[in-house]
Amino acid sequence: MMRHGFVRRAGGWFTVVALATAGWAQTPAGRGSTGKATSPPSRIRPAPPATATHPTSRNARSPRRLPATLVPVSSNENRAGPAGWRKGTWMDQHSSINRIGQEHPDLQVVLLGDSITQGWGGPWRSIGSSAGALWDEFFGDLHAANFGISGDRTQHILWRIDHGNFDHIDPRVIVLLIGTNNLPHDSAADIAAGIRAILDRLARKAPSATILLCTIERGKTADDPVREKVNAVNRAIRHMADGKRVRLVDLAKRFIRPDGTADPKLMRGDYIHFKKAGFRAWGKMIRPMIDEILQPTPTGRPQTSERRSTRPAD
């Protein structure tokens, strides 16, 4: 049997194999020899651990880790009161949404997002509502459901899609507002990548749906430190909307005034969440778009978003 040694040379590692299993190679007995094992040459080193990576050149780089916005993960939120839940944990909310899909497989419209979306309230959920009766005003005549969960970031939405939220439904419309909770933690590029990943997931899990993709709005004034990142994310969002399968809902047109300040009549004091008037403004923006998508064509069937009407195998 042979052992491997490694020699460090410019440009990387290479292997030396002429090492005996009992130790380093011995010098043959004879003139000038002691007959004892010699010390290993100082330039020869033991094999590196199997888990270590050794680039073969100075320019080689280790694989880049995915940003957190792209790695599906469940939330550890368990503060029912601050989160706007009457009881339970985030996982309880997730499970209740899965049950809604199982019990109402013919849902037409789904609102998907974080606490802003959760604020609509709606049937079948144990959540508080900032919108009051506005859910019934804007969605009561539709078979619609609220899939918003407080505190969610893009990675949580990805996890929810992967773990049942759309396993039993293929809605015609999905209203998506997500990314606000990522702002303190992630770069604009990473947040945009997370939103893009959600759109890709939904294209597979809900192939009949048209996505109404909402911009994110946060910050009181134009020079608010968070606004630069918000604007960068929204520029990316606008490029994701193709006007067909993904349609833009530019909330800035209603929530941001010409001088760049957020409208205090529509947004609460944290300039993140909406007042009741804000939900009304949002509803007035999306309901005509929903009606257009659901409007029957001359054939008597609802308009399609140029996707397959049956869910592909996952």
The pLDDT, as a whole number, for residue 203 is 97
Q: Judge whether 283 lies within some domain.
A: yes
Q: Which of 79-83, 172-176, 202-206 is least confident?
A: 79-83
Q: Which residue has the tokens 């505190």?
A: 151
Q: Is residue 251 part of a domain?
A: yes
pTM metric for this prediction: 0.76
Number of domains in the chain: 2
Report d(CA 87, CA 93) in Å as an integer. Answer: 9
Look at residue 297 in the predicted model and tell me its pLDDT. 61
Most confident listed range (23-27, 141-145, 305-309): 141-145
Give residue-wise pLDDT tens across range 74-121: 999 888 888 999 889 999 999 999 999 999 999 999 999 999 999 999
Could you tell me the CATH number of the domain that includes residue 196?
3.40.50.1110
What six digits make up the tokens of 57? Answer: 């050149």
Q: What is the mean pLDDT of residues 217-230?
A: 95
> Is residue 52 situated within a structural domain?
no
Asked whether residue 299 is domain-assigned, the answer is no
Q: Are residues 120 and 163 in the same domain?
A: yes
pLDDT score for 79: 84
Quick one: 87 and 20 in the same domain? no
Residues 29 and 112 occupy one common structural domain: no
Place of tokens 């064509």: 297
Same domain flag for 28 and 77: no
Determine the Cα–Cα distance for residues 23 and 206; give it in Å rounded to an integer: 64
Tokens of 169: 């439904």
Instruction: Give yes or no: residues 86 and 235 share one domain.
Output: yes
Instruction: Indicate the pLDDT class of residue 46, thresholds 50, 70 and 90.
Output: very low
Q: Residues 216-225: what's their mean pLDDT?
A: 94
Q: Is the pLDDT of residue 178 over 50?
A: yes
pLDDT at 289: 98
Half-sphere exposure of 151 (CA within 13 A, CB side): 18
- Give the structural domain span for 15: 2-45
What's the pLDDT score for residue 296? Answer: 78
User: Are residues 170 and 253 located together in one domain of the fold?
Assistant: yes
Residues 201 and 106 reside in one and the same domain? yes
Same domain, 84 and 40: no
Say if residue 37 is in the same domain as residue 138: no
Same domain flag for 154 and 35: no
In a domain? residue 312:
no
244 and 178 share a domain?
yes
One domain for residues 210 and 75: yes
Answer yes or no: is 54 within a domain. Answer: no
Decide which of 5 and 266 is more confident.
266
- Alpha helices, DSSP H only, in the chain? 80-83, 90-103, 115-118, 134-139, 154-162, 188-205, 227-240, 252-255, 276-294
Q: Above 90 in pLDDT, residue 125? A: yes
